[in-house]
Amino acid sequence: MTSHWILGPGAIGRLLAHSLSPITDITLIGRRALPEQQRLTTPEGEERTQRLASVTVAELASHSLPVPGFVHITTKAMAAEAALASIADVVAPTTPLVLWQNGFLAQPRLTDRWPGPVLCATTTQGAYLTGSDGVVHAGRGPTFIGDLNNQRAALAKTLAQTLGEAGFTATPVDDIRQRLWQKLAVNAAINPLVALNGVRNGELRGDAYAVRLAAVVKEVAAILKQENIAPPNGGEGEDAWLALVWQVVENTANNKASMLQDVEARRTTERGAILGPLIDSAERHGLPCGLLKELDSELAKLEAKF
Ligand code: KPL
């Protein structure tokens, strides 16, 4: 039986652990100990409690756990590299990693640095934690798996199959880079604005925000063109990106975006993984990114107060 280590017991990490646990061996790894009995609330409102094996990073070396077939890194984007470094001594460098981060920061860096295979996952599964022993699976969504160099198709297929058996709708893809940037584009348009203004996604439709949102999308669309990221849904340039962003705003109108949740909890945001790659790219290509920089520095100022 393939063993799956899940490093980062946040909402996606715990959802993954609950889903995989009935079909395979899993271990959740975090900095703090977790209660053994963990509760999952399904999108239908059903509650299921099961025992999930977990260890802390500090305990890892003294536990004789099965050798992992996959190490899933489910931390926030900014914490992924440090999380991997914290277990690197006890994991063979040939072990496949699966990166579940938002943005496009951890993925290229770890693909370059880790000697073994590195898969990236992008998902629209919605989940949030309710304390140290509970996770709510708020909404189902597809998951796509692939690697940035398109050399691990068989491994991506194996993992997608396992995730499928675990109840995810998972598809192996050969365009994960496109998909990661596409999600990043939507996150860049929505997350900083809602986080800075303390509003739910749907409020962006109002006059106070809609013009700024469209101006952000304009900068983002020009950058993505230079990165060879095709506009979504077979559309053309900026209009296609704007239509996608408004569609996501509509579909998630009642959501508190992840960046707003971070700000409310006084946690460092994922601005470095979402706005960072866009600003870097704009600077490399000599494109305007004044608004993206403004959002980034407003968020930095806010974080400095935490
Ligand atoms: O993915 C999201 C997030 O919260 O990070 C969006 C699409 C903005 C939905 O809230």
Could you tell me if 157 and 214 lie in one domain? Answer: no
Could you tell me if 74 and 152 lie in one domain? Answer: yes
Quote the pLDDT of residue 64: 87
Question: How many angstroms is it from 88 CA to the middle of ligand 1?
Answer: 31
Among 76, 157, 183, 293, the active-site one is 183
Per-residue pLDDT of the chain (306 residues; tens, 9 = 90+): 999 999 999 999 999 999 999 999 999 999 999 999 999 999 999 999 999 999 999 999 898 899 999 999 999 999 999 999 999 999 999 999 999 999 999 999 999 999 999 999 999 998 999 999 999 998 899 999 999 999 999 999 999 999 999 999 999 999 999 999 999 999 999 999 999 999 999 999 999 999 999 999 999 999 999 999 999 988 989 999 999 999 999 999 988 899 999 999 999 999 999 999 999 999 999 999 999 999 999 999 999 999
Q: What whole-number distance in Å separates Cα of residue 166 and Cα of residue 159?
A: 10
Question: Does residue 183 have an active-site annotation?
Answer: yes
6 within 8 A of 17, measured Cβ to Cβ: yes
Could you tell me if 151 and 200 lie in one domain? Answer: no
Question: What is the residue with the minimal CA distance to atom 10 of ligand 1?
Answer: 257
- Alpha carbon 137 to its chain's center: 15
Could you tell me if 164 and 241 lie in one domain? Answer: no
Tell which atom from ligand 1 comes closest to the C-alpha of 260: 4
Could you tell me if 138 and 247 lie in one domain? Answer: no
Question: How many angstroms is it from 1 CA to the middle of ligand 1?
Answer: 34
Q: What is the CATH number of the domain that holds 21?
A: 3.40.50.720
Domain termination residue (choose one: 126, 143, 174): 174
Q: What is the CATH number of the domain that holds 274?
A: 1.10.1040.10
Could you tell me if 191 and 249 lie in one domain? Answer: yes
Could you tell me if 204 and 127 lie in one domain? Answer: no
Could you tell me if 135 and 203 lie in one domain? Answer: no
Question: What is the residue with the minimal CA distance to atom 1 of ligand 1?
Answer: 187
Could you tell me if 92 and 195 lie in one domain? Answer: no
Going across the sheet that includes 37-41, the strands are: 47-51, 37-41, 134-139, 126-129
Quote the pLDDT of residue 61: 86
Could you tell me if 195 and 49 lie in one domain? Answer: no
SS (H, E, C) the chain: CCEEEEECCCHHHHHHHHHHCCCCEEEEEECCCCCCEEEEECCCCCEEEEECCEEEHHHHCCCCCCCEEEEEECCCHHHHHHHHHHHHHHCCCCCCEEECCCCCCHHHHHHHHCCCCEEEEEECCEEEECCCCEEEEEECCEEEEECCCCCCHHHHHHHHHHHHHCCCEEEECCCHHHHHHHHHHHHHHHHHHHHHHCCCHHHHHCHHHHHHHHHHHHHHHHHHHHCCCCCHHHCCHHHHHHHHHHHHHHHCCCCCCHHHHHHHCCCCCCHHHHHHHHHHHHHHHCCCCHHHHHHHHHHHHHHHCC
Q: Structural domain tally of the chain?
A: 2
Domain termination residue (choose one: 150, 174, 198): 174
Strands 169-172 and 126-129: unpaired
Q: Domain residues for 245?
A: 178-304
Q: What whole-number distance in Å separates Cα of residue 164 and Cα of residue 195?
A: 33
Question: How many angstroms is it from 147 CA to the middle of ligand 1?
Answer: 23
In this structure, the residues whose C-beta lies within 6 A of any atom of ligand 1 are 186-187, 190-191, 201, 248, 252, 255, 257-258
Domain termination residue (choose one: 157, 174, 191): 174
Residue with tokens 């975090």: 30
Question: What is the residue with the minimal CA distance to atom 5 of ligand 1?
Answer: 258
Could you tell me if 163 and 257 lie in one domain? Answer: no
Question: Which candidate, 267, 269, 263, 290, places its Cα nearest to that of 279?
Answer: 290
Could you tell me if 152 and 224 lie in one domain? Answer: no
Q: From 125, 187, 270, give the residue whose CB has the most ligand 1 atoms within 8 Å, as the site to mutate.
A: 187
